[in-house]
Each structure stands twice: as C-alpha cells, then as structure tokens.
Amino acid sequence: MRFALMILMPLACLACACGLAPGLLTAGEAEVESAAGRRPEWHQWRGPRRDGQVEGPQWPDRLDPENIERVWRVKLGESYSGPIVTDDLIFTTETRDKKIEAAVAIDRRTGNEVWRKEWDGAISVPFFATRNGNWIRSTPAYDGECLYVAGMRDVLVCLDGTTGNERWRVDFVKEFNTTIPAFGFVCSPLIDGDGVFVQAGCSLAKVDRRTGKVIWRSLQDAGGMMGSAFSSPVIAELCGKRHIVVQTREKLAGVDIDSGNVLWEQPVPSFRGMNILTPVVFKDSIFTSTYQNKSFLYQTSLNEGVFGVKEAWTNPAQCYMSTPVVVDGRAYMHLQNRRFCCIDLASGERTWTSKPQDEYCSLVAQGDRILALGSGGRLLLLRANPVEFELIDEATVSDAETWAHLTVSGDELVVRELGALALHRWRRGSPATSSTGR
C-alpha cells in the first residue's frame, strides 16, 4: 500500500500572519495584492482560488519543443511540496540528510537561490511507506509578505518572504501534547482574514497569522496510529453561509470561521481514515472520494439557522490522492486504478473511464483544457470532454519523480521534481478566459 503518497495531496496552501492590512488575503480570491503592491501568482494549494483553475495566456495545442521549453533547472533536496510562485520568486521546501528541513526562495527569472531557512525536523515514515521517502509533504503558502511552511514534525513556521527570517512557529505536539503524525504534517495551510487554518495536533486549528497564537481548536480526535488528518480545508459559501469545509479522517464538516463551532458534519466511509482529497464544493454540495471506497456528493441545507446535510449520490469511482478539477459541472478525476474518469456532479453519472495512465496526476484546468502532471514526469494535455477521454498531446518534462502539484503562472509552468525545481515556458499563447463550471 502506498500510504505515504497520500501525503502529497494536501501540498499547497495559504499561510501567513504578519501584520498585513485587514482583508488583504481572502481564500477564494483570484487576485491578491501584497502590502508591497505585488500579486502572488500561485500562492496556495491548488492555485489562486484553491480549485485548480488557471487564467492567463491560452495554452498551446501541442506540448512539443516548439511550444514549450525548459528555461532553467536547479538541484535541491527531496520534497513533495508544490511550488509557490510570486512575480519574482518561487518558494519550495526540501529535506536533506534525513534530518534537516528547509524553505528555499528561488529567483523566478534566473533560478538563483535568494535565501534559505533550515531547521531540524525530519521524521521516518512507517515501514510500509518508505518507498516514497521521509521528506516534507505540505506545500507552503504565501500572502505577499510571509511564507507559511508546515514541517513534518507537526510544526508551522512563519518566515519573512523577503529575507527568510523566522517570525514565529507553532509546535503542535508541544502545544497540545499530541503525538507526531506518522506521515508528518500533510495538510496544506489555509489563510483567511487574521487566521491560518490547518489540520494539525489531531484537530483543525486556527492560528493568528500575526503572532502564531492558537485562536481555537475544533474537531479534535484521538489521532490513532496515523495522527492528524491529511486533507486540506477550503473556504466555501454553502446555503449563503461562508465557512470552512474540511475533511477529517472520518468525516466532512463545516466549521465557523470565527468561533470554530461545528456547523454540520457528515461521516464519510474510508479505508483506515484515508480521507485525502481536498473537498470540492459544487453549488450547495460537497464532492469527495475516499481511498479504497467510492465517491460521494453531499447536499447541504439551512432551515431556521440550522444546517442539514445528506447524501445525494454515490459512485464506485475511487480516487487515490488527486483532487479533481470541475469544468461545466463535471468532475474530471484521476483514480486509484490509474485511470481518468468524468462524473456529472448533478446526477452522479460516470460518463467515461480511460485506460490506465500514471500512478498519480496533479490536475489544473483552463477553459476546456486540463494539464495533468504524472508522477513519472509525464505531462498530459487533455480536453475536458464530457463524452470521452481525449488526450490532445503529451510530453516528458522530467526523468525524475514528480509527485508535487503542478504550478502554472502566466506563460510559465513550475515543476517540483523529487530532487530539483524546473521552470518551463510556453513559447506562444493568447489571453484566455477560465471556465470553472461553478
């Protein structure tokens, strides 16, 4: 079983807390400006809106060398963290010598290292997961001033984005007297208002992004053998109420942003708590799919201020770790059996299933196009076709493993290989409008 691979899913996330103007960074906003007037291009898990959707120059029809080229590549220690991209920097993480973790800032134009911050923090994952290594999993988050990095030993570190100097850190094991999670800190932090939200310390916690103080703690559990949950939270408006939607090891839940009160919850069947996907919000419903189980859509309702939730449909499709992208009301998914499939979110009907592809793929979408970066370094260009699987083109962008989430910013693609970081650039393209299907 590939338990450690699940850790990759929750890689990216917004996380920062350093004296920014009120309302500067809100989860779900496509455009975020920093205090310095710069816009983080890809600042959190799954991109600007945390949904895998990309705007900007239209992607070429082909992935041959005439349309895409590698600009630079730099060697680094191992990591599964997805790259965080600003207009001039790229942030990533690494684990070295099985004991040192680091956050690294790379000049976007040249590939030169600008700064790095290191700390002792590595762990050894369980024996059945060693195939996939002991390196850092979670993707940092950036708000234009601070970078928030989740270390494997259940610590959250806030770094100055310009210098790399540490502003604060939270050690959840010491804070709550919990155990170090077996697979490390997996959840990708979410920033909203004054808070950084993470699944750590066997709970969902809100941390003050200016001070590092824990504001509230919700959805506490015993943790068990595996420790904290793997999935990353999102901000959603369901039935007119804006709140956090999070998937723990056993259930989906809606949580009040200010108080941490649980507004609704729904058990989700899974194998040994392997709830890995980021919840996908569609209208007033939430889609998820769990390891060695199936896919679910849960419908929420609100009656006289009280939330209700019920199962709308199920489908036998089993996602592994890859959170789907939604285009025109359909979820395009990569499954545990290496196949892609398309599910109509309104009906639960699976309209097609592909032949086996890569073991894992991270997905991003623009209009009716989907880029899928496979774990073996293969980049697929798909059409979001609700009738049949349609592979437009493919190319090899790395000879190494590429489990980190693909980042697309403007006309550039940033690929975090297991032991390197590489920037690729489209050679041509024109403005395009993204279709999210929401």
Task: Please name every residue paired with 382 in a beta bridge, in sequence order, or none if there are none.
Answer: 370, 391
240 alpha-carbon distance from chain centroid: 25
Q: How far apart are CA 335 and CA 361, in angstroms?
A: 9
Question: And the tokens for 300?
Answer: 């929420």
- Please tell me the chain's helix, strand, coil percentages from 3-state DSSP, rounded to the nearest 5: 5, 45, 55
Read out DSSP for 330-391? EEEEEBTTS-EEEEETTT--EEEE-----S-EEEEEETTEEEEEETTSEEEEEE--SSS-EE
Out of 2.40.50.1020, 3.40.309.10, 2.130.10.10, 3.10.180.10, the CATH code matching 3-432 is 2.130.10.10
Q: Are 296 and 285 in contact (CB under 8 A)?
A: no
Instruction: List Cα–Cα distances, 118 to 90, 105, 211, 309, 346, in angstroms.
Output: 17, 12, 21, 44, 47
Stretches in the chain below the pLDDT threshold 50: 1-40, 429-438
pLDDT of residue 382: 98
- 129 in helix, strand or coil? helix
pLDDT of residue 436: 41
- 7 in helix, strand or coil? helix
pLDDT of residue 86: 95
pLDDT of residue 131: 64
Convert the pLDDT of each residue in 43-94 to its tens digit. Answer: 999 999 999 999 888 899 999 888 999 999 999 999 999 999 999 999 999 9
Q: How far apart are CA 297 and CA 393, in angstroms?
A: 31
pTM, full prediction: 0.88
Name every residue whose Cβ is closer than 8 Å to that of residue 188 and which is 6 or more positions away in sequence.
10, 11, 12, 13, 44, 45, 138, 139, 141, 150, 232
Report the candidate in 50, 8, 7 with the shortest Cα–Cα distance to residue 27. Answer: 50
Q: Are 253 and 245 in contact (CB under 8 A)?
A: yes
pLDDT of residue 129: 57
